[in-house]
Amino acid sequence: MKRINYLLSFMALAAMMITTGCDDGDDSGPTIQEQQLAAVLGTWATQSTSDVKLDTDDAPGDWSGFSITFNNQNGVVATGIPPESEVFSLTSFETTGNSASQFQLIFNGASAESALLSISGNTMELSFTLSSDTDQLGARVNSVEGDWTFSLTKTE
């Protein structure tokens, strides 16, 4: 009888240890949004005027001094925008999507003001479409409507 009690006690103790030691599946690693934020943070800049395209042609103006900076308080600042192609009026951003390297940026809390983003190492491609139907990204749309693509390199 003692053996049965010891065996039952051992089995109960083993079962308790197994269930307490089980992983609840909660991964303590960074979430996709945290990975997206880490990927986009910093200053991204053009290397030449041809790094900015409107449709498939070089965008009007001199984009060689363009940069966009994302900070960890979800603030964003774009500089070096040629006056004839003012396409940004940005103050904040948030990320959305299921990938840490390809996702969507929502600017100024407005879903209509968004851009697709693809990051690989220290290069980023930022693309969006401006149409005369909406006032996206604070742009003067009549002069800049079309498909915009920015090829950027991380500088800091």
Q: What is the pLDDT of residues 29-40, one digit of tens each?
A: 999 999 999 999
DSSP class of residue 121? T
* Residue 27 to residue 9: CA distance in whole angstroms: 33
* Residue 39 to residue 144: CA distance in whole angstroms: 28
Q: Taking all residues of the chain, what is their mean pLDDT, rounded to a whole number? A: 82
- pLDDT at residue 101, rounded to an integer: 94
Across 110-127, average pLDDT: 90
Residue 91 lies in a domain: yes
- Give the model's confidence band at 114: pLDDT under 50 very low, under 70 low, under 90 confident, else very high: confident
Residue 123 lies in a domain: yes
**What is the 3-state secondary structure of 26-85?**
CCCCCCHHHHHHHHHCEEEECCCHHHEEECCEECCCCCCCCEEEECCCCEEEEECCCHHH
Residue 19 lies in a domain: no
**pTM of this structure:** 0.75
Q: Which domain holds residue 105?
A: 41-154
- Give the model's confidence band at 7: pLDDT under 50 very low, under 70 low, under 90 confident, else very high: low
Q: How many distinct structural domains can be found in the chain?
A: 1
